[in-house]
Copies of this chain bind each other. A is one copy, B any other.
């Protein structure tokens, strides 16, 4: 089937490109989101359980999904997250959708990949406030978890490396292909409305694609927040500098993906832009030295909303019950 269709599609696109009727997808700065290939379904299923597992927190109620809610674009849609004992987080929670495409994890890139990231919040006293030791103790006390880890890892032990590897394996499945923009990239001219296409042209011509490019429309570089004029953040984070110690990295942050950006409000590392209109305006002024007109802003926002892809279909996992010896949560300590 594929071998017959592909050459025809390419031929049609080439012909349309030649007569100026459409782009050639391979010349665009943005590429379609690749489809997910699940290599190890048992590990993904275990990782899904752990992603939804509130017993990985001291309180027993905060899971990965609390701040990276898969009902809501993989975010919590508040400026900064709520941690154990209602602590206010220092920075906006980025989306977990398409996060495997990031060059590194966290806004400052301090974790090299999803596996390294996943261990952070569990043990962060301001977030899930457990320790890795207690997390492992909890899992070991539950026979159904012991059996599932053994099935997946072929070892009669559970350690934090396995936990984070499984969570990462699940997160790697959270791609959102098939956005209208991707349909357009693949040659469906009717996938975008005229104004949305005009928005994309403006997105390119005004320089947004300098940072927001690639399949994730971002996520692949660190850039200074506030190039033309400084950004007055409410967050105290100084970004990449905290990792490298280099002065040049001060206020450098990982460029966020714009995939599903319609769903991942509020925007910026401090979550201070409530709407896309506001975020586009700020980006134009601070990064490009350009004040977009209301019409331009609307076109850009229209384009950005075409980046919403198919959300992952998640069957809510049923978690195995605690045993008599499972340590109980301590929500009010």
Residues in chain A within 8 A of chain B (CB atoms): 52, 54-55, 59-61, 66, 69-73, 76-78, 82, 85-86, 88, 262-263, 265-266, 274-275, 277, 311, 313-319, 321-322, 324, 328-329, 331-332
Contact = CB atoms under 8 A, between A and B. Distances in A.
24 contacts: A54-B69, A54-B76, A54-B77, A59-B78, A60-B76, A61-B82, A70-B316, A71-B316, A71-B318, A82-B331, A85-B86, A86-B86, A88-B332, A262-B321, A263-B321, A265-B321, A266-B328, A274-B328, A275-B324, A311-B318, A313-B316, A314-B316, A315-B316, A316-B316
B78 A319 contact: no
Nearest to A72: B319
Contacts of A315: 313-316
**Copy number in this complex?**
2
Contacts of A331: 78, 82, 88
Summarize A's interface: helix, strand, loop or mixed: loop
B76 A322 contact: no
A332 B314 CA distance: 30
A223 to B, nearest CB: 26
